[in-house]
Structure 1
Amino acid sequence: MNDKDDRAHPFPHSDEAVARAGLTPETAQTRSPAYRLAFTDRDFLLREELRPLRLQLELLKPQMVMDERGIESTVVMFGGARIPAPQNTDLARTQTLAELSKYYEQARLFAREMTRRSLETYGRDFVICTGGGPGVMEAGNMGADEAGGASIGLGIVLPHEQAPNAYVTPDLCFNFHYFAIRKMHFLMRARAITVFPGGFGTLDELFETLTLVQTKRMKPIPILLFGAEFWNRILNWDALADAGTISAADLDLFHYVETAEEAVAIIDAWKEPC
């Protein structure tokens, strides 16, 4: 309990209720699951009917923590978990992944430079935000750490174990069950989005962002795709425009870059379209 809680209302804090419940004599009645305080009853909270509440909690917890830290804006880094660091290309599954390791280095340099800008605002703006995992995500958190700043990691529970990378700021390292809520948190504070080569997850995040901007559900921000050769090889944007399923103007929603310097320059020069 803190002073803010004391000023808010005259009722006992929930911690007190938990403590008092623990002092209740054990009887057949108090041993029953029905007697447990609802907010301490794990079995109850995990029931199917409580899904809406769990969604709300996943939205609220990171929101409240970042608000308490004073974080107002982020720079998001999407990208593949399988892209190796340049010194680890011998571990790459394919020759293409080994060649894409150059973007690991660009991600690290980009995050380092953006974090230097973040420190000018005392860590409130331009805070690096990644998925918290390996590959490009690790490079982003590493670059922020090298610059002496904080960075966010938004992890997700997956069938195979994936611990957060060692460079995420510990008290800004979150874990999600719901992909949808995780993606909301990626975009809620974003001042810029960078997208490095990646797989299904990266494509999902890219198209979610483009859809929100295209439909004007989200304000335009810089959307920077690292690696024109990679993206043009896997996505035929012009075919979509030629077919009329997107407009030609939609191709202006994103920009290709190759280096950290190019990305930083676009962000620095960004002016929101009228």
Structure 2
Amino acid sequence: MNKRKQLIARNFPTAKEEAQSLAPQPNYDQPGSAYRLAFDDNEFLLREELRPVRMQLELLKPELMQQELGIKSTIVMFGSARIPSQEEAQALLTQARGSNNSGDAEQIKRAEMQLAMSHYYEEARRFAALVTRASNERDNPIYVVTGGGPGIMEAGNRGAFEAGGKSIGLNIVLPFEQHPNRYITPELCFRFHYFALRKMHFLMRSVALVCFPGGFGTLDELFETMTLIQTGKSRRRPILLFGREFWTRLINFDYLVETGMIGPADVRLFHFVETAEEAWALLESEYDMNPGAHSAT
């Protein structure tokens, strides 16, 4: 053995080595037995009292794995899981209309709206591709991160995948099963139990947040981010809202200012954009996006 290695060799086996080397104990390897190692005992780890430990593990796992992969900067893409691609939306509309154009009127109306909203899927896909192609040439790449599901989330991961880059998906366990979309880089596909820790990981490395139309979940993520920046708990970074018409019909920002619920300066926390190119140009005006740049911050 190399002499230097002798000086720095481990004095104790790793937890993994110890767990793998355990010999079966027929008298004690039974349900309800307390004999198993604590860190190798799922029943023990899932106890109500161990919630703080599980929360810490959920914080640590994505953090350590991203550190190991050298991920320092991300652009977060929020948006609805219900917005389909244009191809899928067109197929749904054709199906709703039926072969003789005599389909159910309400179903046709919903399908037409889905087709109109699918525009945002395609812009999200193009924006993620723009980010990824530009970042592939940087010393410190910027990675697209999404919630890992369908809709706008899929579009973000898909755009990065089609541009030949990696992207991150932060999935959440829901009462109805949410499957990760197939475009997430496998070693960067994480699964969360706690919404709060998932949202924390969205923001920890983000240099910008790009928000597409969405429902309760999207609004929750957007407003938590704006609150953290407004209150100074988080550093200021660009927040881009895709689709002025959607956001101004949904939220009357002027009325919030008029009633004193927010200050006039608070509406400068975000920018409206309409296209992938406009969004990328705004980010270029905020950051040094040159290929040789060492940091996006």
TM-score by length of 1: 0.92
1:103 aligns with 120
1:183 aligns with 199
Q: Which AA in structure 2 matches 1:66?
A: Q
Measure the CA separation in 2 of the matches of 1:180 and 1:15: 29
Q: Which AA in structure 2 matches 1:38?
A: A
Measure the CA separation in 2 of the matches of 1:190 and 1:157: 23
Shift of 1:11: 1.6
- Aligned-CA RMSD value: 1.9
1:33 aligns with 33
Which stretch of the first structure deviates more once superposed, 83-92 or 210-219?
83-92
Match of 2:133 among 104, 113, 116: 116
Q: Deviations over 1:152-201 (max 9, x none)?
A: 00000111112111111111001100000000000000011000001000
Measure the CA separation in 1 of the matches of 2:74 and 2:59: 17
The runs of 5 or more residues in structure 1 that have no matched partner are none
Measure the CA separation in 2 of the matches of 1:33 and 1:25: 11
1:218 aligns with 234
**Is 1:44 matched with 2:59?**
no
**Is 1:192 matched with 2:223?**
no
Shift of 1:17: 2.0
DSSP-derived class of the 2:241 partner: strand
Q: Report which structure shows greater RCO (CA 8 Å, sep ≥6).
A: 2
Measure the CA separation in 1 of the matches of 2:269 and 2:208: 12
DSSP-derived class of the 1:120 partner: coil
DSSP-derived class of the 2:262 partner: coil
DSSP-derived class of the 1:148 partner: coil
**Radius of gyration: which is bigger?**
2
Measure the CA separation in 1 of the matches of 2:9 and 2:233: 35
- Aligned-pair identity in percent equals 57
Measure the CA separation in 2 of the matches of 1:74 and 1:165: 19
Q: Which AA in structure 2 matches 1:62?
A: P
Match of 1:209 among 219, 225, 235: 225
2:14 aligns with 13
Shift of 1:9: 4.6
**Is 1:259 matched with 2:275?**
yes
Which stretch of the first structure deviates more once superposed, 244-253 or 6-15?
6-15
Measure the CA separation in 2 of the matches of 1:197 and 1:8: 54
With over 3 angstroms needed to count, the CA separation of the structure-2 counterparts of 1:9 and 1:216, relative to structure 1, is farther
Shift of 1:126: 1.5
Shift of 1:97: 2.9
Measure the CA separation in 1 of the matches of 2:40 and 2:51: 16
1:160 aligns with 176
Moved over 6 A (4+): none
Q: Which AA in structure 1 matches 2:13?
A: P
Which stretch of the first structure deviates more once superposed, 251-260 or 236-245?
236-245
Measure the CA separation in 1 of the matches of 2:41 and 2:116: 50
TM-score by length of 2: 0.85
Shift of 1:18: 1.2
Q: Deviations over 1:16-68 (max 9, x none)?
A: 321343x15432x4545211100111111001000011111111001111111
Shift of 1:125: 2.8
